[in-house]
Chain A
Amino acid sequence: MTIRLDYTVPQNKNTSIPNPPGYLPPTSAKQLSKTAQPDSDALIKQNRKSTELKLRRAWDLALAPAKSLPMQAIMLYFSGSGIQIFSLGMIFMLLTGPITAVFNIFKAFESLRPTLSTTTTLSGTKKASDLQNAEPSYGPLAMPMIAYIACQGLVLALGLWKCSTMGILPTGSGDWLHFETRLDPPEWSSTRLLSLG
């Protein structure tokens, strides 16, 4: 007989440490596959539980930038309004951070996608196979994602506000002065013509 080493099985079966949520012991998974319809109710329950957990995590992730705002504000306050390498570095982080974060929003929320929970309203027979085949979806994460964008927007706003206090936002007419053009004066006078020769 062949000896099969299975490191995944805990040595001590009587351990009191629970499995991580959503973790199915391989043996039970094997049994599951073998026995056609295991306890689907439990699965659904588990699924719902994990969905709830994921949503909660998603909200946490969405609100995390907002939570760090006061800290960042304090740091900005201490960095002063002078244009130095430190304050500029911070501002650079503040301005680029939210933008990259928003661009990578799907990646950030990828692991938190819940599998579709619409099946809960359908008949019990299909539930298990649906669960097996269901793709994780961003749909339920819409609200956290919007909140995430809004919070990143707040960070960006903080950065822009800092920029404006430092005077490096081109808001005044003076910032655009060098792009202004003028036509030649319409009249000729002896005084003006002196510059020709």
Chain B
Amino acid sequence: MFGFAFVFIGISLISSTLALQVDLAGIVDWHLPLIGEPLLEPTPPLYVGSDRIVGLTKRNVLVVLNANNGDVVWRHQFEDIDPVVSFHVKDDNVLLLSGPGGSTARLFSLSTGSLAWEKPLVPDHQFGGVLTTPVHLGTDVSFIPSHDGESGSIVILSDGKRITKLRLDNGGQSWATEVPGAGSTILFKQIVSSGSSIHVLGIQNSIASQTLLTTTLHLESPIPKGDLGQIPSIVKLPEQALISPSLDKDGEAVVTWTEHGRIRMVSIKENGAVGKDIKDLLPGKGKVYEEILDVGTRRRGIILGRRSDGAADVINVDKREKVTEFELSATSTERSASVYSGIETSKGVLLNRVYWSYNMAVGVSQTINIADVSSKDVISSGFTFPYDTVSHGTFLHVAGSPTLSDKQLPTLVLTTSSGAIQRMELDKPGWIREESLADIKAARFVDLGEPETEEVREVLAEETFAGRLGRHLAELKDLPSYLIRFARRFTAASYTSALRVTPLNTTHLHRDQFGFQKLLIAATAKGKVFALDSSNGATIWSKNLGLTSEKGSEIEIQDIWNVRDGEGGREPMLAILATKTVGDVVKTVAYHLDAYTGLISGEVDPVNHLPLGKTLFEGRYQDAFPLPFENCGTKATVLAVIDPANSLHIFPPCKKVAAGIEEIADKLFYTTHSKSIDGTLLKGHIPSAAQEGLGFKGEVVWQHPFDQDEIILETKAVIFDAVASFGRVLGDKSTLYKYLNPHLQVISTFTPSLKGLSSVTASSQSGTGKIYVIDSTNGKIVYQTEIEGVIARGGIKVGMVENWLVFAWLDERAWKIASTELYEDTSKKGITPSQSTFEDTQIKAISQTFILHTAVKALGFTTSKAGITTKEVIIVNGKNQIATIHRRLLDPRRPVGKPSSMDKEEMLIPYEPLVPVEPKKVISHRYEVLGAETLLTSSALVESTSLLFAYGLDLFLTRGITPSGTFDILSDNFNKAQLLLTLGALSVGILVAGPAVKRKELKNKWY
């Protein structure tokens, strides 16, 4: 028993020595908090106060940015089942509506980001709400200012029918009601409060058209003031109708809509009666307007009306008149489509418009300042700004500051189609947030060369002997300083100081001495490729592969591969596979990219100079992998791409490689999935006859059917890098030989249990999970296991490295993690992986299940150069931290019950169901890495250390993972000075004692 206490103490000591030290934080890692692309409907990013921007994003994040530097002030990410709908700012309060139909309200403090209260608005039994398109239809918020010392309150419309009045200070519910008359054909979409009334605008669906109606409730109690007020109207789209409060007549409201090319308005009286005064704007001019635009200023009575020629008029609905119009806003070939936005000021509004001028190739901003909506004074101003359309695409939204500079110009925050958010001022382009990095599709590390060798190679190439001699002589004057530097480095250098590396830039692309510094190439879904410095996350270069517009991106990058390394002075090369959508045609396109410069080889588009790439075939590819061949010209690894018809294409095409493939055709296997009514079918293929221009036709060699209702969750390939040991030595010195098979695929599936199939409980649905380990050459199931009671929400996370399979899932009680090791069932010498997989190998699986304290959002493994260092499991836990789990704790051979002497010899820890939480194993320490989904690891030059790049939403990179300790790096507390002093003292001693001893010996010979 004592022995195990010692083992435990030992392990705890190991972990404390392995743990990250505080002083390494920020040196060995970096973290880039991202928010994702902004959500533009219904509440686009809003400039609040002097330096805050509030916004929602497509990644379900509510964020407040600092407008001066673009940093995140605070942010909250919500669960997928709770999608954000809209936000509403009032003073220091940010009200967030989320959930289907706006079923939850939360109030945050704008300055601190702390949650004041959270309130479900829809009773539990109605969970789900009305599913509308767009999702925010049928939700609205109206603030009611405080009076008589009482707290202000909020009236919220959710689910298209439910109105709730809450106190602003504590979220206490004053009342809640369902609007009387709301039924299957009536959907309420907007509310305004005015005086003692709450006016609600609804839309009634009839067979032919949609008509508007209103209802009015009393502010203090949920009692309708009258019947539903029918407005004689025909509305095509729900967005083309809105309600705004009347500014001069307290208690009244105005409904505005478009009908037959006209903007019409009608007033709603305080008692809910619809006025008789339906009036056209600009009567007698015919069909002038195409649509009305609510730019967020309807509560001030200002909306925009887009005319049929594309120009935008500013309309004051309260006064029912056109105030002014944006100059040169009609559709023209000289400029791009305009983006409008508005912001309320203390008494008036500021309206902004930006567009791209094709003639001048600049961005143009126009601002209309209506300082007081009750007056007719209008100030227009504008400026132009430089803007890189190739890199950032078109404008999607502009948020203008509520205050203007002394030149009457606003500060703009632009949202662009490339997914960037950037600040723009006159003559002063500001910060850029590249939010497309929140959507990385694939990333790869690129190794860099050593500075000395690289430089020497360059110099030596064109230097004569005399020249070199002269250079060395000239450099002799640097000798003293070099010696001093050498001495200082020799005595004072430490691990930490070695970790401080020079940042990379386009001219300096060299690694540090430990190989921690690499180039990180990240390809984002929207077709933009970034090269990041792995030591600090700075962007070295970025490159757009395709155009982006308001419709999205024509290029969608799928994956990238390292196809050539930087050995021999060549530039490392990467291959990119993307799908290009032009109209309805989807094509698979491939590119070759130079990792150092971002240059893409091949033809470019003559107009916009974007690379064209090589079109491989029509349709999306199913699978792609590198081949064991090099292209004759570029020496780049050739990529195999599987087209929708299961044929194999090669990129770049090369006859020699094609001949090589034919040679090994019977030994080259690839798999595809095909879905049908009978469930998914996994098929194994080999390439057969090559057809001109069509690639190699795939020939099915095996297939594995899954059950009809079995859903494939994850498919992962076994990680098979450097194998340091072929087995595991037991206590009696015999060996368990690992079952090593590089062809294994791990597939996790989920079969819902038939009982709870209703969509409402889909998130908490439970069922059976299955894990398959399939040999992809012959389709044999090497290992299979079944898990009961899996909750669908958590999914099943799998991973396999060498012979070690790990999978984590959520069941009714807790998160579980299972660890399985596959061994050859033989008493003789091991034979894998040199043996053909078609020969029979008996396999023994040892597995064990553990309970985890925390959720597992992603799962990965550490890696190392030679595979000697222990491999650890890396997880993203429920607190959005990245942590590792000790390998020995997940050992499936941990003995249950009293450990035998052999177990003790192996130093196995007795089994305990719970894997303890070790705060020291949290490698992301204080950072919250939101939304990390993929863990990419890479080895450094030192065996002990593993680099980890986590992406998903935030980016996080660390080079501080040392599962076996930094055994090959001297630690900081190693006293080099003492060692040197001791050596020096000993040398002196030898020098002094040597002659003395010699003399004595001589004397001894005389006497």
Contact = CB atoms under 8 A, between A and B. Distances in A.
Interface of A: 167, 171-175, 177-178, 180, 182-197
B669 A177 contact: no
B729 interface: yes
Contact of B735 (A173, A187, A191, A194): A173
A177 B777 contact: no
B628 A190 contact: no
Which of A177, A189, A192, A196 has the most chain B CB within a 10 Å cutoff?
Answer: A189
B776 A182 contact: no
Interface string B725-744: 11101101111000011111
Nearest to B562: A197
A190 B623 CA distance: 9
Contact of A180 (B669, B734, B744, B829): B829
A173 B725 CA distance: 13
Contacts of A175: 729, 733
A14 B776 CA distance: 106
A197 B443 CA distance: 11
Nearest to B560: A197
15 contacts: A167-B733, A173-B733, A185-B836, A185-B837, A187-B743, A189-B669, A190-B670, A190-B671, A190-B776, A191-B717, A191-B776, A194-B626, A195-B721, A196-B625, A196-B626
B742 A189 contact: yes
B834 interface: yes
A182 to B, nearest CB: 4
B907 to A, nearest CB: 13
Contacts of A183: 834
A174 B668 CA distance: 34
B717 A194 contact: yes
Nearest to A183: B834
Contact of A189 (B626, B743, B905): B743
B561 A197 contact: yes
B833 interface: yes
Contacts of B717: 191, 194
A192 B741 CA distance: 9
Contact of B667 (A174, A178, A187, A194): A187
Contact of B626 (A180, A182, A193): A193
B725 A182 contact: no
Contacts of B626: 193-194, 196-197
B867 to A, nearest CB: 12
A108 B940 CA distance: 59
Contacts of B741: 185
Given A183-B834, A193-B627, A174 B735 contact: yes
Given A177-B725, A182-B833, A184-B834, A193 B733 contact: no
A189 B444 CA distance: 21
A182 B735 CA distance: 16
A190 B669 contact: yes
Contacts of A186: 667, 834, 836
A174 B731 CA distance: 10
A180 to B, nearest CB: 6
A190 B715 CA distance: 13
Nearest to B746: A191
Given A172-B734, A191-B743, A192-B720, 6 more contacts: A174-B734, A182-B833, A183-B834, A185-B833, A187-B837, A191-B776
A195 B729 contact: no
Nearest to B668: A188
Contacts of A167: 733, 905
Contacts of A191: 625, 671, 717-718, 742-745, 776
A174 B727 contact: yes
Nearest to B743: A189
B640 interface: yes
Nearest to B839: A186
Contact of A196 (B623, B637, B830, B834): B637
Given A174-B727, A194-B626, A188 B837 contact: no
Contacts of A196: 625-628, 637
Contact of A187 (B575, B726, B732, B836): B836
B807 to A, nearest CB: 17
A193 B777 CA distance: 12
A190 B668 CA distance: 8
Contacts of B667: 186-188
B563 interface: yes
A126 B832 CA distance: 79
A187 B834 CA distance: 10
Contacts of B727: 174, 177
Nearest to B837: A187
Contacts of B237: none
A183 B562 CA distance: 25
Nearest to A170: B733
Contacts of B742: 185, 189, 191-192, 195
Contacts of B625: 190-191, 193-194, 196-197
Nearest to A178: B725
Contact of B733 (A174, A180, A185, A194): A174
A194 B561 CA distance: 9
B829 A187 contact: no
Contacts of A195: 719-721, 742
A190 B832 CA distance: 18
Given A185-B742, A188-B668, A197-B626, A177 B834 contact: no
B664 interface: yes
Given A184-B834, A187-B837, A188-B667, A193 B628 contact: yes
Which of A186, A193, A194 has the most chain B CB within a 10 Å cutoff?
Answer: A193
B744 A172 contact: no
A173 B734 contact: yes
Contacts of B664: 188
A178 to B, nearest CB: 7
Interface string B830-858: 10111111100000000000000000000
Contact of A172 (B719, B733, B837): B733
B271 to A, nearest CB: 71
Contacts of B639: 197
B670 A189 contact: yes
A197 B447 CA distance: 12
Which of B628, B740, B742, B834 has the most chain A CB within a 10 Å cutoff?
Answer: B742
Nearest to B838: A187
Nearest to A174: B729
Contacts of A189: 668-670, 742-743, 776-777
A188 B640 contact: no
Which of A167, A182, A187 has the most chain B CB within a 10 Å cutoff?
Answer: A187
Interface in B767-788: 776-777
Q: Which 8 A-B pairs have the closest CB atoms?
A: A172-B733, A174-B729, A197-B561, A183-B834, A192-B742, A190-B670, A197-B626, A196-B626
Contacts of B628: 188, 193, 196
Contacts of A182: 726, 740, 832-834
Interface in B549-587: 561-563, 575
